[in-house]
Amino acid sequence: MSKSLLIERLDYGEKQTIGRMFVLDGNKHSLYDCQTLELPWKNNKRSISCIPEGEYEVVKRVSPKYGEHFHVTGVDGRSYILIHKGNYYTDIRGCILVGKDLSDINSDGVIDVTHSGDTMADLLGLMPSRFKLKIVKL
């Protein structure tokens, strides 16, 4: 049965976008969920904006910097949009961070994602090598 990811963006802030990610089975039932952290919407500008809502192809990838992670492909005008571990909006250059919960870890007044490494490991274990990602605004 094929699996996919769904990100529901919940809050577009000045410094970041907060969302919830769901792993869906072929019948669109949620098998797993976690938090997401992205940059704010700035017209899809490279390195400073989240990507547009829409549907994308995703593939597993390995790099020296991020280890095993996901590469979101087919983003108009953008390249190397990744889903990877990290906690703070300052860890992002257009990518998507995942975590178990939301908390202001470093007490800077901005929400962060927690337990990102564990969450990324869960997702890597659940998802196939190629799948679809849908991003929507709630």
* DSSP state string for 47-114: TTSPPPSEEEEEEEEEETTTEEEEEEE--TT---EEEE--SSGGG-SS-EEEES-EE-TTSSSS-EE-
**Cα separation of 52 and 38, whole Å?**
11
Going from N- to C-terminal start, the domains of the chain cover 4-137
- Residue the block writes with tokens 């990610």: 21
Parallel, antiparallel or unpaired: strands 130-137 and 4-12: parallel
**15-63: per-residue pLDDT in tens?**
999 999 999 999 999 999 999 999 999 999 999 999 999 999 999 999 9
User: Do the beta carbons of residue 21 and residue 134 sit within 8 Å?
Assistant: no
Percent of the chain with pLDDT over 70: 99
Reported pTM: 0.96
For domain 4-137, give the fold. Answer: L,D-transpeptidase catalytic domain-like (2.40.440)
pLDDT tens digit sequence for 60-74: 999 999 999 999 999
For residues 119 and 36, the answer to whether their CB atoms sit within 8 Å is no
Q: How far apart are CA 28 and CA 97, in angstroms?
A: 22
Res 1: pLDDT: 63
Distance from C-alpha of 18 to C-alpha of 71, rounded to nearest angstrom: 19
